[in-house]
């Protein structure tokens, strides 16, 4: 049975955070001063097992989900992530993908592909090591992330998409070099507006570089024109180079909210269902599972939650919403 929410939006896309841990400390996501060695990460026993995730995934697919993205935290720091991929890949009719910072991708790409992963999105905010470090606070070489992407392409995890978050005053100067480089490579670069997700990153509107500004910067050197979305509810707006040199995407979650078509649900590493990236509370599916609920009972609860959903945080964003409590991105995944 396909579900629609209170604003008539279907449920199509499920993002599953497989861990709240990460080997990077990106300043816009897990700033080191908060996510230090004493940060109370979830104990292993509180994180959904692969079997629990796969069971939930099947129930969600029964409700119309067609795409599952594994995320985190950093999904590839979860031990044997490819075994989860294998379990999910057995579900028919599913577009299965994963978002990673790329640090562990080179060594895992083949196993992920063999397990049935279709493609990957790799996050990279600059080609310059100093700038990259200023953002990920982990002193990890750009070259290793590029190696991860290339290995993924080599084993057939394509098309490769690259996510770049732009923070004013930090990596604006990387916009053009990134555009040139990935145009050459044929990977689809997507620029993400810096969002006020969570409450630890000290977000300010002044730090946001708008999609319009990004398109203008690139277009001045390599002219772009807008193209139609691949499907309704696609997060990235697509632009192509007028000379036929490929396309880029811009994700304007701040300056041009796309809640109207939002068909995404998220499951946190500890098994809570969130119906918005900016939600305050999740619905505890793990307790239900661990207390012996049947698939039917879980399915009915999901249907009730989605049926009532009226989230549209980005459309309502204002000075008043910025300081509201919100769950961290590393808990529920991007």
Q: Which residues of the shown chain bind ligand SAM in the complex (CB under 6 A)?
A: 22, 28-29, 71-72, 74, 99-101, 123, 163, 165, 192, 194-195, 197, 201, 329-330, 333-334
Size of the site for ligand SF4 (CB under 6 A): 23
**Residue 192's binding partner out of ligand SF4, ligand SAM, none, with CB under 5 to 8 Å set by partner kind:** ligand SAM
Closer by beta carbon to ligand SAM, 204 or else 260: 204
CA–CA distances in Å: residue 207 to residues 39, 137, 195, 232, 235: 26, 18, 9, 29, 21
Among 81, 330, 331, 332, binds ligand SF4 (CB under 6 A): 330
What binding mask, one character per residue, do residues 87-106 give for ligand SF4 by CB under 6 A, x or -? --------------x-----
The pair of three-digit structure tokens given for residue 237, joined into one six-digit string = 């707006």
| Interface of this chain with ligand SF4, residues 206 to 265, rule: CB under 6 A | 258-259, 262, 264
- C-beta nearest to ligand SAM: residue: 334
Among 208, 285, 314, 327, binds ligand SF4 (CB under 6 A): 314
Phi, psi for 203 (deg, rounded to 5): -55, 140
**Residue 313's binding partner out of ligand SAM, ligand SF4, none, with CB under 5 to 8 Å set by partner kind:** ligand SF4
**Residue 312's binding partner out of ligand SAM, ligand SF4, none, with CB under 5 to 8 Å set by partner kind:** ligand SF4
CB 74 within 8 A of CB 21: yes
Among 5, 74, 193, 196, binds ligand SF4 (CB under 6 A): 74
Buried b (16+ CB within 10 A) or exposed e, 47-78: bbebebbbbbbbbbbbbebbbbbbbbbbbbbb
CB 249 within 8 A of CB 239: yes
Q: Would you count residue 276 as binding ligand SF4 (CB under 6 A)? A: yes
Closer by beta carbon to ligand SF4, 105 or else 112: 105
The pair of three-digit structure tokens given for residue 60, joined into one six-digit string = 């969600």
Q: Would you count residue 198 as binding ligand SF4 (CB under 6 A)? A: no
Closer by beta carbon to ligand SAM, 72 or else 271: 72
What residue has token string 């790329």?
102
Smallest distance, Å, CB 145 to ligand SF4? 10
**Residue 70's binding partner out of ligand SF4, ligand SAM, none, with CB under 5 to 8 Å set by partner kind:** none
Closer by beta carbon to ligand SF4, 24 or else 132: 24
Q: Would you count residue 72 as binding ligand SF4 (CB under 6 A)? A: yes
Closer by beta carbon to ligand SAM, 201 or else 252: 201
Closer by beta carbon to ligand SAM, 268 or else 299: 268
**Residue 258's binding partner out of ligand SF4, ligand SAM, none, with CB under 5 to 8 Å set by partner kind:** ligand SF4
Closer by beta carbon to ligand SF4, 104 or else 222: 104
Q: Which residues bind ligand SF4 (CB under 6 A)?
A: 22, 24-26, 29-30, 72-74, 101, 123, 258-259, 262, 264, 276-278, 311-314, 330
């Amino acid at each position: 049975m396909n579900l629609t929410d209170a604003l008539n939006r279907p449920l199509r896309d499920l993002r599953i955070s497989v861990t709240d841990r990460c080997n990077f400390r990106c300043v816009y996501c897990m700033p080191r001063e908060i996510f230090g060695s004493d940060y109370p990460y979830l104990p292993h026993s509180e994180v959904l097992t692969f079997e629990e995730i796969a069971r939930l995934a099947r129930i969600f697919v029964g409700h119309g989900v067609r795409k599952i993205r594994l995320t985190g935290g950093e999904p590839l720091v979860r031990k044997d992530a490819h075994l989860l991929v294998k379990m999910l890949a057995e579900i028919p009719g599913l577009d299965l993908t994963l978002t990673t910072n790329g640090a562990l991708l080179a060594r895992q790409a083949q196993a992920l592909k063999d397990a049935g992963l279709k493609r990957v999105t790799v996050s990279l905010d600059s080609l310059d090591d100093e700038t990259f470090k200023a953002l990920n606070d982990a002193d990890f070489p750009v070259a290793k992330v590029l190696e991860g992407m290339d290995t993924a392409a080599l084993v057939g995890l394509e098309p490769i998409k690259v996510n770049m978050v732009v923070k004013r005053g930090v990596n604006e100067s990387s916009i053009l070099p990134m555009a040139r480089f990935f145009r050459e490579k044929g990977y689809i670069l997507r620029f993400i507006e810096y969002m006020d997700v969570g409450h630890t990153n000290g977000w300010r509107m002044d730090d946001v570089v708008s999609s319009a500004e990004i398109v203008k910067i690139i277009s001045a050197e390599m002219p772009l024109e807008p193209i139609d979305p691949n499907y309704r509810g696609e997060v990235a707006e697509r632009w192509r180079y007028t000379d036929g040199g490929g396309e880029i995407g811009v994700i304007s979650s701040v300056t041009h909210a796309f809640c109207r078509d939002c068909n995404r649900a998220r499951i946190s590493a500890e098994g809570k269902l969130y119906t918005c990236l900016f939600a305050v509370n999740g619905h505890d599916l793990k307790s239900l599972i661990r207390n012996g609920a049947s698939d039917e009972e879980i399915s009915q609860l999901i249907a009730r939650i989605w049926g009532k959903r009226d989230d549209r945080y980005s459309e309502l964003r204002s000075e008043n919403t910025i300081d509201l409590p919100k769950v961290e991105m590393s808990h529920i995944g991007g």
